Amino acid sequence: MDNINTNSNNNEIENKSIVSKFDNSQSPNQQQKQEQQKQEQPQQQPQQQQQQQQQQQQQQQQQQQQQQQQQQQQQQQQNIKSINSIQNNNNKFRRWNGHSPSLNYQLNKNNNYNDLINNRKNYSDQDLKKELEIRSLELMKKEEEIIKLRDKITTLNEQYTQELAICCHYSNNLSNLRKEVYQMKNQFLSKEEQYKKQIQDLQYKLYCEYQPIGKLRI
């Protein structure tokens, strides 16, 4: 029995020593991990700062691109307005003197009156004919549209007259019916009065001539 107890005690001592060794082996590992985490944290902070800086730079670049696009759009609109104004001036000039000068001629400030005369001469009769043909075609189209509109107006007028005739017919019928009803009502009232008088006369005769039984005349 003493041997058994000694063996059990020895086993317990060995187990405790193993556990202590295992704990000691784990403790430096944990310390190393903690130190690594502490080292990684300051490394992560500059990485985050760099990412934030990159995002800010990207936002600034996008804003610059948007501003550039807006400026380009404004310039395009101004160019379009200037071109439209020049074309309008050309149209006015065409109506005034019978020819269409080019945009370069309109923009050039150093032209003389002689250039104007040359442009008049260069403007041929064929161009005039083309313009006249175009205008005549436009007039023809407008005339066709006017004719179509007139046809629509005539059809609408016809429908309106037909509906008016129907309404007049119904109104006449209603007026005739009202007259008939009024006549019938008058006839009924007159007959009612006659019947009332006849009934009163008969009642009076019954009362006067035919006395009740039990009363004898002397």
195-204 confidence digits (pLDDT tens): 888 888 888 8
Domain boundaries, the chain: 8-91
Residue 154 predicted with pLDDT over 90 = yes
Residue 98 is predicted with a pLDDT of 47
| Residues 86, 103 contacting (CB under 8 angstroms) | yes
User: What DSSP designation does 211 have?
Assistant: P
- What values do phi and psi take at 124, rounded to 5? -85, 170
- What values do phi and psi take at 32, rounded to 5? -65, -40
- pLDDT tens readout for residues 35-79: 666 665 555 566 777 788 888 888 888 888 888 888 888 887 877
pTM over 0.75: no
Task: Fill in the amino acid letter for 43.
Answer: Q
Residue 217 predicted with pLDDT over 50 = no
| pLDDT tier at 218, thresholds 50, 70, 90 | very low
In whole angstroms, give the CA distance from residue 141 to residue 138.
5
- Average pLDDT of every residue of the chain: 73
In whole angstroms, give the CA distance from residue 181 to residue 167.
21
- What values do phi and psi take at 71, rounded to 5? -60, -40
- Lowest mean pLDDT, pick from 46-60, 82-96, 103-117, 176-190: 103-117
| pLDDT tier at 127, thresholds 50, 70, 90 | confident
Q: Where is pLDDT greater, at 193 or 76?
A: 193
